[in-house]
Amino acid sequence: MKYGKELLLKGIPVIFNKKGAEIAIGDGCTIKSSFLSNLVGLYSRTIIVTRRPGAYIRIGNNVGISGATIYARKGITIGDNTAIGGNVKILDNDFHPIELEERNNLLNDKNGGNSDLVPAKEIHIGRNCFIGCNSIILKGTFLGDGCVVGAGTVVAGEFAPNCVIVGNPAKVIRTLDTN
């Protein structure tokens, strides 16, 4: 993996990069992984995983991450100055196929089965976003620059810049005035 200058680790993250995949972390990032490194209380270490050759996780400059899981089969981009709150999950795939037969085939195949059947779509999180604690960002999500995601929100879909998004299913409650 590649990481930039002044990476600050508070606690020990779990970072796993599959051969042929890419993890890149920009300058000035902070990754928190111990229980009280963020006083919201972290349930787990930060986990950053690429699961397939060709997958990527690209994290910009000055990004803060607290006990999040960032798990890519395809690709996840996080823009500069974005804050990822405590215990957030960013999952660009479903881990299991939706169809029962495919799911059972995969579960029962000792050789790992055809994991291409696991639904996966890239995630893009823009610059200057703020993701509230315990949110879940699902496959195919696109968050424009400056979006704020409320605590505990389940996000799927595409959102324009500067939206405040809350709830499950996530809804835009207002657009921030950036002037």
Chain residues that interact with ligand COA, rule: CB under 6 A: 38, 40, 66, 85-86, 132-133, 148, 150-153, 164, 166-167, 173
Q: Nearest to ligand COA by Cβ — which residue?
A: 150
Exactly one of 10, 96, 103, 121 is catalytic; name it: 96
Shortest reach from residue 174's CB to ligand COA, in Å: 7
Cβ closest to ligand COA, residue 60 vs residue 150: 150
Shortest reach from residue 176's CB to ligand COA, in Å: 9
Shortest reach from residue 119's CB to ligand COA, in Å: 26
Cβ closest to ligand COA, residue 66 vs residue 141: 66
Cβ closest to ligand COA, residue 7 vs residue 173: 173
Asked if residue 169 has a cis previous peptide bond (ω within 30° of 0), the answer is yes
CB atoms closer than 10 angstroms to residue 43? 10
- Nearest of 35, 26, 34 to residue 9 by alpha carbon: 34
- Upper half-sphere CA count for residue 109 (Cβ side, 13 Å): 12
Helix (H) / strand (E) containing 103 = helix 100-108
Question: What is the radius of gyration, based on Cα positions, of the chain?
Answer: 16
In this structure, are residues 36 and 5 in contact, taking their beta carbons and an 8 Å threshold? no
Give catalytic status of residue 124 as yes or no. Answer: no
Q: Residues with catalytic annotation?
A: 96
